[in-house]
Amino acid sequence: MFSARRLIPSLSREIRRHLKKSLTSKPAAAVELCEPTKENKDILVERMGEITKIGINCPEKKNSLNRIAAQNLSDAIEEFEQDESALVAVIHGIGGNFCTGYDLKEISEYDGESEDTLPQFGPLANRMTLTKKPMVAALSGYTIGAGLELALLCDLRVVEESAVIGFHNRRFGVPILGGGTVRLPALIGHSRAMDMILTGRGITAAEAFSWGLANRLVACGTSLGQAFNLAQCLLKFPQRTMLADRASAHNASFSSRSFEEALQYEKDHSSHLLLEEGAVGAKKFREGIGRHGKFYHLRHIDRSKTDEIKDDLL
């Protein structure tokens, strides 16, 4: 009897050890639900239903981008744009930081002759047009230099409370080459943009939110899950009308030479959608969908590949 009592603690420990091994030795459910589409070590891409998740995976360098990583990132965004079944992208950094810009080690090795050795954003550096579909940035840790320019390229930015955002490249004479001097003033105004561009200081997440640079301010460690939630919100709407309104707002901010020209662009690119998607939506409202400001059941979404993943991300 005494021996049996002594065996119980050992047996309990063995059972717990076996259960832990069993639970952790199998692939996570999220792995089965995701559809890996790219296997570059530095840029990880996963499909989650109609959402493409693009992760910068250089944590040992705080997700700074060398020439190869920058090109792989450009390629990943280009592939997302060409994929008709992917409607929204979420861009994030792995390991606690979003992106700290170009790899200064690689820049320091410039031999004065070949510019091919310098990191570039490829198509992103020269992009003048809006991306075809919305992108949401999940900002954690440091978002610096070209990393900030990448965040500005996105439509929406979800920022963690502990994040730091700025052009720290000012300290070393690395210029802003990815559209930052164009997009930042349009988002937060000339005066505040000059503060960031000239001084190079890092602003807090609270400042970014009050200035309009951050669209959502979230708790530390939750930016990816909250960005995924925000991306899911965009899936529920009629897509052609949403994209037309998005393009019109972008045109008014960056391309139109006058107020009248912006209004004309809006009419030319959206009027036909009133009959194509608006009429269909009005019928749904008459049938009871969307009454009292409700936002559900507007468009069928297959959530079988996203619900469990969303819980893991949050």
Residue 11 located in a structural domain: no
Give the model's pLDDT for residue 160. Answer: 98
Average pLDDT for residues 194-206, to the nearest whole number?
A: 97
Residue 92 located in a structural domain: yes
What does the pLDDT look like over 148-184, one tens digit per residue?
A: 999 999 999 999 999 999 999 999 998 998 899 999 9
- The answer on 193 and 77 residing in a single domain is yes
Predicted TM-score (pTM) of the model is 0.79
Residue 6 located in a structural domain: no
Looking at every residue in the chain, the average pLDDT score rounds to 82
* C-alpha–C-alpha distance, residues 111 and 124, integer Å: 25
Strands (E) located in the chain: 35-38, 43-48, 51-56, 88-93, 135-139, 142-144, 156-160, 164-166, 203-204, 216-218
Helix 180-188 to helix 146-153 angle, to the nearest 10 degrees? Answer: 60
Give the model's pLDDT for residue 29. Answer: 32
Contact 147, 138 (CB under 8 A): no
* Statement: residue 21 has pLDDT above 90: no
Residue 204 token pair = 């807090």
* C-alpha–C-alpha distance, residues 199 and 143, integer Å: 16
Q: Binning pLDDT at 50, 70 and 90, where does residue 19 land?
A: very low
- The answer on 246 and 176 residing in a single domain is no
Of 238, 230, 302, nearest to 53 by C-alpha is 230
Range with the poorest average pLDDT among 80-84, 197-201, 266-270, 271-275: 271-275
Residue 292 located in a structural domain: yes
222 versus 254: which is more confidently predicted? 222
**Residue linked to tokens 């490829």:** 122
Q: Which domain holds residue 273?
A: 239-298
Residue 245 located in a structural domain: yes
Helix (H, G, I), strand (E, B) or coil at 263: helix
Give the model's pLDDT for residue 246. Answer: 94
